[in-house]
């Protein structure tokens, strides 16, 4: 089990006193909240947290306050979310209603948000240097220097940018913890765009920092390899209300079979961004068809996404297998706040479901538009929570403005560097 290996490896690290105390404590939601600052598994002090007082229990009850998320929209779900199988979630998390105007939601970005210089403004905050020092031991190279100094070409490689965005997002959590502790204490839900989901799960207490980074490392390397096996890519497109995206993908596949004699071409929707905005992934020949004939289907904009392969399509099946294997080797617990899946937009309920959906995510479309509806759909007159984009870039805020303008009015950005405000193009969210 990788978890045992990680325990042995990081118990000897000079900067892992916070890690070792976590690895020796109970993994229940109650223990998490008494062992850690709100939700996050990588920034606790070494101290005994095996007992709780009545006062601690009362505080725990307050920290676990949340609200019921509305039923999923019918068109947002690919399959029903698997319910708790080990223990009823209601027995693990006692939730009561909370005024949504006094709660927060955290959104974590994915690949495409990276830029040279990110994390520079975070280094003076507590625990941030520890995050990157421990990451260097796991990854085998100095990723902080890559984040700070580039070159951009190396940072953009899937094998580098996925862990880089993951780490910078968690470093941004430490900035928010210092600058706005109330936002941490009142967080009731989180979501991450593709690899950003792993940062959300670390923040929620579902998986440890080291083990999540181990999975991200294996996932990124496998996706890099899969990208090199077949010439493929992704295309960001904007259509009209009448645009039939599935028909466009179908016709592109037929064209490649007939014209290029391809046996099994791949062309499918990889990301749902906002109304009429999609990212299509597939073989290069399929994308060439879309660029040539897209206007005939009602497309008004087509732009290549600067990534190495067709992520979130069936061309990533080999990477899916590697991700599944890595997820079987780490410990996962029920998060102490709602964390929503990219696959079906529902909140995670148990470790078995989390492993299944995180594995499936590699070859399934990111349903971000539908996830935004799940998080923010509410009766008229009901307030919206404060939303924080925690990580490099501000792409998710740009997408939110196109999905729900009222929710966007309560949006905040946790800056990670001087160039953060220059990465707000929606296209960049079409990522890993």
Whose tokens are 């207490």? That residue is 205
* Candidates 39, 160, 312, 340; catalytic one: 312
Strands (E), 319-410: 338-340, 366-367, 386-390
Give every CB contact of residue 176 below 8 A, 6+ residues apart in sequence.
183, 184, 388, 390, 414
The runs of H, that is alpha helices, within 230-278 are 245-259
Phi-psi group of 389: left, alpha or beta (phi > 0 → left; psi -120 to 50 → alpha; rest → beta)? beta
Active site (annotated) includes residue 4 = no
Tell me, what DSSP letter sits at residue 51? Answer: -
113 φ/ψ angles, rounded to the nearest 5 degrees? -90, -10
Asked if residues 64 and 371 have their Cβ atoms less than 8 Å apart, the reply is no
* Candidates 169, 194, 232, 347; catalytic one: 194
191 φ/ψ angles, rounded to the nearest 5 degrees? -150, 155
Measured CA to CA, the distance from residue 377 to residue 302 in angstroms comes to: 29
Asked if residues 171 and 128 have their Cβ atoms less than 8 Å apart, the reply is yes
Provide the 10 A C-beta neighbour count for residue 193: 30
Q: Cα–Cα–Cα angle for 242, 424, 76, nearest 5°? A: 40
Active site (annotated) includes residue 401 = no
Measured CA to CA, the distance from residue 44 to residue 41 in angstroms comes to: 7
Measured CA to CA, the distance from residue 205 to residue 203 in angstroms comes to: 6
90-114 as b/e, with b when 16 or more CB fall inside 10 Å?
eebbebeeeebeebbbbbbbbbbbb
Asked if residues 217 and 138 have their Cβ atoms less than 8 Å apart, the reply is yes
Measured CA to CA, the distance from residue 274 to residue 86 in angstroms comes to: 36
Bond preceding residue 373 cis, omega within 30 of 0: no
Residue 386: CA count within 13 A, CB half-sphere: 15
Instruction: Tell me which residues are annotated as active site.
Output: 194, 312
């Amino acid at each position: 089990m990788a978890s045992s290996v990680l325990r042995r490896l990081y118990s000897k690290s000079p900067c892992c006193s916070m890690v070792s105390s976590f690895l020796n404590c109970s993994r229940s939601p109650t223990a998490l909240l008494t062992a850690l600052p709100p939700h996050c598994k990588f920034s606790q002090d070494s101290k005994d947290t095996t007992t709780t007082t009545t006062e601690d229990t009362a505080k725990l009850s307050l920290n676990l306050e949340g609200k019921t998320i509305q039923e999923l929209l019918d068109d947002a779900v690919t399959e029903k979310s698997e319910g708790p199988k080990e223990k009823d979630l209601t027995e693990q998390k006692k939730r009561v209603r909370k005024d949504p105007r006094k709660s927060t939601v955290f959104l974590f970005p994915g690949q495409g948000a990276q830029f040279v210089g990110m994390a520079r403004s975070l280094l003076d905050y507590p625990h941030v240097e520890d995050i990157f020092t421990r990451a260097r031991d796991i990854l085998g190279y100095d990723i902080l220097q890559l984040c700070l100094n580039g070159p951009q070409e190396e940072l953009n490689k899937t094998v580098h940018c996925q862990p880089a965005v993951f780490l910078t997002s968690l470093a941004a959590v430490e900035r928010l913890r210092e600058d706005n502790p109330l936002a941490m204490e009142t967080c009731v839900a989180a979501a991450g765009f593709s690899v950003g989901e792993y940062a959300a799960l670390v923040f929620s207490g579902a998986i440890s920092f080291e083990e999540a980074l181990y999975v991200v490392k294996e996932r990124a390397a496998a996706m890099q390899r899969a990208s090199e096996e077949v010439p493929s890519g992704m295309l960001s497109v904007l259509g009209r209300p009448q645009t039939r995206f599935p028909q466009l993908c179908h016709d592109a596949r037929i064209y490649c079979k007939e014209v290029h004699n391809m046996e099994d071409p791949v062309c499918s929707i990889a990301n749902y961004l906002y109304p009429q905005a999609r990212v299509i992934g597939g073989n290069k020949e399929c994308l060439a068809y879309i660029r040539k004939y897209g206007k005939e289907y009602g497309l008004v904009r087509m732009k290549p996404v600067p990534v190495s392969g067709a992520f979130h399509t069936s061309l990533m099946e080999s990477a899916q297998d590697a991700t599944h294997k890595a997820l079987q080797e780490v410990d996962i617990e029920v998060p102490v706040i709602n964390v929503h899946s990219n696959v079906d937009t529902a909140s995670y309920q148990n470790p078995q479901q989390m492993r299944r959906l995180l594995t499936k995510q590699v070859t399934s479309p990111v349903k971000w538009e539908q996830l935004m509806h799940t998080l923010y759909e509410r009766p008229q007159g009901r307030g919206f929570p404060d939303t924080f984009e925690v990580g490099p870039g501000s792409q998710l805020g740009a997408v939110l403005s196109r999905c729900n303008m009222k929710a966007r009015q309560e949006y905040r950005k946790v800056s990670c560097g001087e160039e953060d405000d220059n990465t707000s193009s929606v296209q960049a969210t079409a990522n890993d």
